[in-house]
Amino acid sequence: MKLGVFAVLFSEKSLDEALDYIKDSGLDTVEIGTGGYVGNAHCNPAELLADQAKFNAFYEAFQTRGIQISALSCHGNPLHPNKDIASEHHQVFQNTVRLASKLGIENVVTFSGCPGESDYSLHPVWITCPWPNDFSEVVDWQWREKVIPYWQEQNQFLKEHNVRVAVEPHPGFVVYNTETLLRLREKCGDQIGANFDPSHYFWQGMDPVACIKALGKENALFHFHAKDTRIDQQNNPLNGVLDTKSYKDIANRSWVFRTVGYGHGEDTWREIISSLQTIGYEGAISIEHEDGLMSIEEGFTKAVEFLQDKLIKQGAKELWWA
Give domain 2-321's CATH superfamily.
Divalent-metal-dependent TIM barrel enzymes (3.20.20.150)
CA distances in angstroms from 232 to 133, 170, 181, 240, 242, listed in the order given: 33, 20, 27, 10, 13
Task: With beta carbons less than 8 A apart as the criterion, state whether 195 and 225 touch.
Answer: yes
Residue bearing the bigger pLDDT, 317 or 168: 168
Angle of helix 296-321 relative to helix 266-278, nearest 10 degrees, comes to 50
pTM: 0.96
The band of 322, judged by pLDDT with boundaries at 50, 70 and 90, is very low
Mean pLDDT of the chain: 96
**CB neighbour list of residue 263: distance below 8 Å, 6 or more residues apart:** 199, 202, 228, 229, 230, 231, 257
**CB neighbour list of residue 56: distance below 8 Å, 6 or more residues apart:** none
Domains of the chain: which residue ranges? 2-321
Give the count of beta carbons closer than 10 Å to the beta carbon of residue 18: 22
| Residue of 266, 299, 277 whose CA lies nearest to 224 | 277
Query: For residue 186, how far is the Cα from the chain centroid?
Result: 20
pLDDT value of position 309 = 82
Q: At residue 269, does pLDDT exceed 90?
A: yes
pLDDT value of position 310 = 82
For the segment 282-313, what is each residue's pLDDT rounded down to a tens digit? 999 999 999 999 999 999 999 999 999 888 66
pLDDT value of position 158 = 99
pLDDT value of position 313 = 60
Mean pLDDT across 251-266: 97
Query: For residue 316, how far is the Cα from the chain centroid?
Result: 28
For the segment 68-115, what is each residue's pLDDT rounded down to a tens digit? 999 999 999 999 999 999 999 999 999 999 999 999 999 999 999 999
**How far is Cα 88 from Cα 97, in angstroms, rounded to an integer?**
14
Percent share of the chain, pLDDT over 90: 96
pLDDT value of position 211 = 98
Q: At residue 217, does pLDDT exceed 80?
A: yes
